[in-house]
Structure 1
Amino acid sequence: MGSEKEIPLDSSRIRLVPWGWSHGPNKGLVEVRPADSWTWGGVCAEHFDLRDADVVCRMLGYIWANDFYDTGKVYGEQGLAYMADLRCDGNESSLFDCSYAGWGIHGCQNGVVVCGTLMNRIRLIGGSGPNEGRVEVRPEDSMTWGTVCHNRFNMDDADVVCRMLGYPNATQVQNDAYFGQGTGPIYMDDLRCDGNETSLFSCSYAGWTIQDCDHGQDAGVVCRMIVSFSDSSRIRLVGGSGPNEGRVEVRPADSYRWGTVCHNGFDLKDAEVVCRILGYPNVYGVRLGAHFGRGTGPIYIEDLQCDGTESSLFNCSHKGWRVHDCDPWHDEDVGVVC
């Protein structure tokens, strides 16, 4: 079927192998194999970043990567790797489409990836950027991708698609296979979302593969690109008993992906800035050791050094986004009480 064209055998050529603390289907040492061999090898961690990790996780059916680690930095192990100097832009559907040094045997530190636990069941294909394309979906128990028929497909449906993919809303619906015809099953027809759903699969529709369409009627969308956020919309408190307390979570200016702040170096001056940016005049306490529960996603900030007078946490000194040596299990997530 056509789905074999969309996901050739690429997904069978990559795996996550349990290693060190990384036990679970969504985390482990990244291993790959050539198309003509069943001998597995690692991927060099040098130059490996979140964009490469995102591609790995999408190949394995997850929406994105939460984190990645260099095995050498964690435990000092060496290993043989097939791929080195990976440079993905993050939008590729396969790691093997990214730029890299070429297949070979490289002696280097291998990389560990932690994928988000939410499985990816929706994607946009054929657009000129990641925010647009033909809408493709797949069943919960299958990696075979298919399309959505444009019958009754409107902006309410498109808004739900875009929000699932991390965009605020849709700007356009493009019907009649505007982004090219798909090649797998036509899974959904007569979608009737009210626009408030968190998942397309919660909307009313005819039923899986119940349709009277052809691929000339594949639906497409254009999602609104994220331009920037005000600082106050980039920080939140989660897990507290009220809105004035909780685990501190932040996000970059160009992303909807939330992450946490490590408690190393975090003190009342940092907490004052957190509370002020959220509109609270005072801080009543700092809570260490994941007091409000462990977060998920990246650990974005460590060693914050605010002087307490800043109007934004993002004006304070710190190591740099995602630069940390904190517990990857989020046991060191910091919280505040405002």
Structure 2
Amino acid sequence: MGTSVPIDDSLSSQCFTPNSICYTTNNNINADEIPTIDYSVLFSSDPNIQAKALDYLSTACHNYGFFYLVNHGVPEYVFKSVFKAISDYFEPTVIEDRMKYQKKSSTDMIRWELRSSAAENREYLKMVTHPNYHSPSNQTTFSETMEDYYTRMREVVHGLGKAISKTLGMEESFIEKAFKLESGFDVSAMNLYPPNFKSKGSMGVPDHTDPGFFVSLIQDINGGLQILSHQGKWIDVNYMPSNAILINTGDHLEILSNGKYKSHVHRVVVDNNNVKRVSVATLHGPSLDAFVKPAPEFLDDALPPNYDGATYKHYLEANGQHLIDVQSNIQQFRHN
């Protein structure tokens, strides 16, 4: 469970829900726990409360690269509607409708795939959701449900852009401008992981980092995700607070901050699934034409650039991959 720190009544009044716990600075976080960030407190009108919340967010980004986000303003009924829409879409009897979105070309804005091997075991649908929203045809309810979710998540993207900019000691528009977030390139993967007795392999998604600013993840059932700690230990993400969003920082926040904030390795395992699991992972990236490099504010004579700069489009296509693949290529841009 994420580490939570109850604080005084003046801070608890900033929470959206009665009797909820707010989260603030704690430098004694258990290494096997993931921090929990109260989104609402990041924008408190009390400067002392906001400073503590931003300090805790900085610790989460620097030491973990992952955190739970609560009180983010996306209602629980939206999550439930999303999980139902995805489960209905992945109904086995209508797989033929999904097969028309199998890999075709580098210009695909929607892609479906079924992978059943020892290396990876899941069925997924990927869609480009921003700056233009794409969705399967003849799926009105699914399309409207998902578009509502993504529209709400864009507000979270902009809010975290402001908050994380402040944790870096910059003005709140720093990330917004550097990444051109108004036209940011977002790709969402809706995943269906089968129960273990139907699984041909133990791995849902192999070890990887993700490109972009950050990834937001919601899932209907806890378990499966593992995060690699700085000490080289895999941490199980077995618990997510109610109505929480799991955030993990991406390659381009690492590049922009010249390594101050890292993009962390993670994977998905399906060995212990007793039932199917649905998740939605959305990669929130810079604009395709945004040229991202280490910002001058993070450079000096003792700390030269650790990464080469590139447009986000070039980064995603660096190894002959398609934009919708949104694969990490950070090793190619990181200096030895």
**What TM-score do you get using the length of structure 1 for normalisation?**
0.26
Instruction: Select the structure of larger CA radius of gyration.
Output: 1
Q: Tell me which protein shows more helix as a share of its residues.
A: 2
Which structure has more relative contact order (CA 8 Å, sep 6+)? It is 2
TM-score normalised by the chain length of structure 2: 0.26
